[in-house]
Amino acid sequence: MPKELARPSWEEYFMAITDLVAQRATCVRRKVGAILVRDRRIVATGYNGAPSGIRHCLEVGCLREELAVPSGERHELCRGLHAEQNAIIQAALHGVSLQSSMLFCTNMPCSICSKMLINAGITKIYYREGYADSMAAEMLSEAGVPLVQVAADEGQDR
């Protein structure tokens, strides 16, 4: 009799989809994907990259890289939007409320994205890797938004 494989949880399915969304990213430093889920349905997706109609960093290079700006600092020195920001904007463009939604993201949100997610009504955040921004975790905790780190699957390249 064949051995039954353990069925992944719905959280693991959504993280796998988030990893796939990240492959669309146009950032030369890090590929980040985000999906917003309500009632176990995807309502919006986003990946990090330049605004619509603007040349991407893959084409023009990375100013942050040129200036050696550390991760988590000087967000204004970037052509791109974060994956979470693009997911929120996608929902707004299509008239989709994010109230009571959950975020799945390949990285923990920065403080700027955390403020946006709190005000958008996000109730829980699942993420794979940390981020160099301690203020984000403090604000999310104060707002009562739980952070859940999800380990990468074995064999998954990161």
Where residue 153 falls among pLDDT bands split at 50, 70, 90?
Answer: low
Where does residue 69 fall: left (phi above 0), alpha (psi -120 to 50 degrees), or beta otherwise? Answer: beta
Residue 37 CB contacts under 8 Å (≥ 6 apart), including other chains:
14, 43, 101, 102, 103, 104
Positions at the binding site for Zn(2+):
82, 110, 113
Average pLDDT over residues 103-118: 96
Q: Which residues belong to the active site?
A: 84
The residue ranges of every structural domain in the chain are: 10-149
pLDDT beyond 70 at 154: no
Average pLDDT over residues 67-89: 90
Positions at the binding site:
82, 110, 113
Check if CATH label 3.20.20.140 holds for domain 10-149.
no
Where residue 155 falls among pLDDT bands split at 50, 70, 90?
Answer: very low
For 57-85, b/e burial (b = at least 16 CB within 10 A) is beeeebebeeeebeeeeeeeebbbbbbbb
Element holding 102 (H helix, E strand): strand 102-107
Residue 47 φ then ψ, to 5°: -140, 160
